[in-house]
Structure 1
Amino acid sequence: MRVRKFGTAAVVTATALVLAACGGGGAGSSTDTSAPDGGSSSDGGEAPAAEDITVGVAMPTQTSERWIADGDAVKAGFEGEGYSVDLQFANDDIPTQSQQVDQMITSGVDLLVIAAIDGTALSGQLANAASAGIPVISYDRLIRDTPNLDFYVTFDNFAVGVQQGTSLLVGLGVLNADGSEADATGPFNIELFAGSLDDNNAGFFFDGAMSVLQPYIDSGVLVVPSGQTSIDQVATLRWQQEVAQKRMEDLLTSTYSGADKVDGVLSPYDGISRGIITALQNAGYGTTIADGLPIVSGQDAEIASVKLIADGVQFATIFKDTRKLAEQAVISGNEILAGEEPEANNTTDYDNGEFVVPSFLLESDVVYADNIESLLVDSGYWTADEVASGQSD
């Protein structure tokens, strides 16, 4: 692992951040998790003060409240450790993010934390970081096709997909919320949506969901009338709401003429879900599930979608507590800056095309209308007023 040789005195041990309800400290066993270029550790020497250490944080966009929250939480966490932070958002533009990372390297940051727009587009920048001795943490989205990556912090993305598929089956009445078989036998017409193909997570989400849905498709309980079942057919570029809405409109026009109706839609992200729901409502499917709107899944517990769930419009979302992800990034960053191997709980699943990247995976939860308060309000993620208004304060 490439690390600048800071003594451990330079690094304050990761403590409870000024982030409400942060859990998820580093845990789990670690094996030989060094990248292919070999490992190095601190050899002591004069250690810079914490305020002389700068962390570069590159986030993909400010068009999603999720990524704004992530950027702010990571910045606050590292600043809470006494470091300076250079936080940049790239507005979903790959050249902009590449330029931002280049600038961080040129300015001499001591650690890079990157949530990539396109996981294959930063190999040149990471080669430059390696040459400068700057370690890199891949944040939530795996950076691919480069050996110059030190660690990956994320959620268990395959499990997230399983939860998405399960929530769709629960909404259709095929499964109970505990995963046991329910009474409904179908057949139910469903359509499938996936995320952006340039995001490595999209494949994990889709594969996880299909591991749950495919047996019911094979048995005839679920039917995909469009025939579009591969990720290449159902992907949504840049996870954009308007792209998803247009595709749903096209599916309704091409496939659901006459008496055929959609019963459910697999959606991997709340913004995509809202685009799908808009298309369905505009096509006369009703305004809520109670009056005919199909079951639609989601992800990220965005406040607009949480209100839709509370109002009986969207059926479910997946809550990934990004406060915990930010905290884990800080914990792992502290370990790297101290010249230590960051603690991993997965060293087998996240092959970036060059090597299996040591990773720390966090757990997620399914949000339904009846557990919004316990999962989101009681934890301080959203307030009751924010849920009621559908807007963050």
Structure 2
Amino acid sequence: MKKTVLIISVFLVGILILSSCKHKPHIGLLVDNLQQERWKKDMSIFEEKVKELGGTCSVLIADSDPDKQLLQAEEMIANGVEVLVVIPANQLKAGDIVIYAHQNHVPVISYDRLIKNCNLDYYISTDNIAIGELQAGYLTKIKPAGKYGIIGGSRVDNNAYLLNIGQLNILQPLIEKGDIEVVFNEYTNSWSLHEGYEITNNYLNSEMNQGLDAIIAGNDALAAGAISALKEHNLAGSVLVAGQDADIQAIRNIVGGNQTMTVYKPIEALAYTAADAAIKISKGIAPSNMDITINNGKRLVPAILLKSQVVHRQNIDLTVVSEGFISEQDIEKNGNKE
């Protein structure tokens, strides 16, 4: 009898061990929207990496609605996700996601955009102050004096404010010398093309218009909108334009001479880093490479900030093309690559 009990016990332990070995960490990814080209790439690479690391991934899109995103978080947690990775629709309202997740013992990684004023677990992004400095630094080397316009990103996205800090880090000394005048500096409701168009067009049509030499836009969609307004005023190509994200249309605009530069964020590395961290956290392992902290208004959040690089007409092949981010064929579809 004792021998039979022992055999059954060993059998049950074996089943438990096998089942634990087969356990796949369940990771949830909450995405703000897919309006910008880059988010589709982030999402695809993240899902692929999670699966490669032995996990499963659930993804929901909030369509820029923070209340919807909270409901999606609740749905994912009810369905058993072990870690939430969030691209917040609103930097403040997403704090409710963190609170709810913690009530259910689910850690949260804030992806690319910082969730403010809550006990956020981790933050993985690029150095957005440095990106603003790259944008302004590149344009001021070409045009160290003149009238500059700044089109910031969304008011509900902390990155927009960080970009502006970086841009003004470079511009302020030149402003104080009297070499550069900032003729407009406006944030937007979203990161959309039409707002870039409206801000630029409103200035060019206003009595305040005393010329325009350069525009620094928060992303490539805003830059594309600004370029549309410049075209209507026969200024495209004569006004410097900086963007961010290395969208395919931005690369075509650079090739065509209507955009001066963009900033290529290491999206593949960003998504891979977040997926790797999520899998480790689900296994109770703290990511070892989070060697800095970022103040989100409530606590110092362990973080990883990756570096970005400038893309201009002369280095397109050496950057986004050579790394497989964009193909030469895609560039040539709507423009002539020289």
Alignment TM-score, normalising by the size of structure 1: 0.78
2:232 partner amino acid: N
| Aligned equivalent of 2:259 | 314
Q: Map 1:97-246 to 2 at 5 A.
A: 97-147=69-119, 149-172=120-143, 174=144, 186=145, 188-224=146-182, 226=183, 228-229=184-185, 234-246=186-198
1:247 partner amino acid: I
Structure 1 CA distance for aligned equivalents of residues 205 and 151 of structure 2: 17
**Are the aligned partners of 2:53 and 2:276 in contact in 1 as well (CA < 8 Å)?**
no
Structure 2 CA distance for aligned equivalents of residues 279 and 323 of structure 1: 32
**Gap change, CA 1:251 and 1:102, over 3 Å in 2:** same
**C-alpha deviation, 1:321, in angstroms:** 1.7
**C-alpha deviation, 1:344, in angstroms:** 3.8
**C-alpha deviation, 1:52, in angstroms:** 3.7
| Aligned equivalent of 1:56 | 28
Structure 1 CA distance for aligned equivalents of residues 241 and 262 of structure 2: 9
Aligned length: 319
**In structure 2, which of residues 292, 306, 317 is the aligned counterpart of residue 362 of structure 1?**
306
Structure 1 CA distance for aligned equivalents of residues 100 and 71 of structure 2: 12
**C-alpha deviation, 1:235, in angstroms:** 0.3
Range 266-275 or range 215-224, more displaced: 215-224
**Are the aligned partners of 1:135 and 1:150 in contact in 2 as well (CA < 8 Å)?**
yes
**In structure 1, which of residues 39, 43, 65 is the aligned counterpart of residue 37 of structure 2?**
65
Q: Does 1:253 align with 2:205?
A: yes
| Aligned equivalent of 1:79 | 51
**Gap change, CA 1:171 and 1:267, over 3 Å in 2:** farther
2:234 partner amino acid: G
Structure 2 CA distance for aligned equivalents of residues 389 and 249 of structure 1: 28
1:303 partner amino acid: I
Task: Name the SS for the 2:91 alignment partner.
Answer: coil
For each residue in 1:340-392, what CA deviation from the matched residue of structure 2 results, as whole angstroms up to 9, or x when unmatched?
221244434x211110111011110000100000001111111111122259x
Task: Name the SS for the 1:265 alignment partner.
Answer: strand
Structure 2 CA distance for aligned equivalents of residues 297 and 143 of structure 1: 26
| Identical-pair percentage | 28
1:243 partner amino acid: E
Unaligned runs of 5+ in 2: 1-15
**Are the aligned partners of 1:78 and 1:330 in contact in 2 as well (CA < 8 Å)?**
yes
**Gap change, CA 1:189 and 1:50, over 3 Å in 2:** farther
**Are the aligned partners of 1:58 and 1:114 in contact in 2 as well (CA < 8 Å)?**
yes
For each residue in 1:146-184, what CA deviation from the matched residue of structure 2 results, as whole angstroms up to 9, or x when unmatched?
11x211111111111110111221332x3xxxxxxxxxx
1:338 partner amino acid: K
Task: Name the SS for the 1:193 alignment partner.
Answer: strand
**Are the aligned partners of 1:51 and 1:84 in contact in 2 as well (CA < 8 Å)?**
no
Task: Name the SS for the 1:371 alignment partner.
Answer: coil
**C-alpha deviation, 1:336, in angstroms:** 1.2
Task: Name the SS for the 1:58 alignment partner.
Answer: strand
**Are the aligned partners of 2:154 and 2:187 in contact in 1 as well (CA < 8 Å)?**
yes
Alignment TM-score, normalising by the size of structure 2: 0.90
**Are the aligned partners of 1:50 and 1:83 in contact in 2 as well (CA < 8 Å)?**
no
**In structure 1, which of residues 232, 246, 270 is the aligned counterpart of residue 220 of structure 2?**
270
**In structure 2, which of residues 209, 216, 233 is the aligned counterpart of residue 283 of structure 1?**
233
Structure 1 CA distance for aligned equivalents of residues 83 and 175 of structure 2: 46
**C-alpha deviation, 1:134, in angstroms:** 0.9
| Aligned equivalent of 1:340 | 285
More helix by share: 2
For each residue in 1:35-66, what CA deviation from the matched residue of structure 2 results, as whole angstroms up to 9, or x when unmatched?
xxxxxxxxxx9683455421110111111110
More strand by share: 2
Structure 2 CA distance for aligned equivalents of residues 248 and 320 of structure 1: 25
Unaligned runs of 5+ in 1: 1-44, 175-185
**C-alpha deviation, 1:256, in angstroms:** 5.2
Structure 2 CA distance for aligned equivalents of residues 301 and 352 of structure 1: 27
Structure 1 CA distance for aligned equivalents of residues 20 and 112 of structure 2: 29
Question: What's the Cα RMSD here?
Answer: 1.8
**C-alpha deviation, 1:91, in angstroms:** 1.7
Task: Name the SS for the 2:300 alignment partner.
Answer: coil
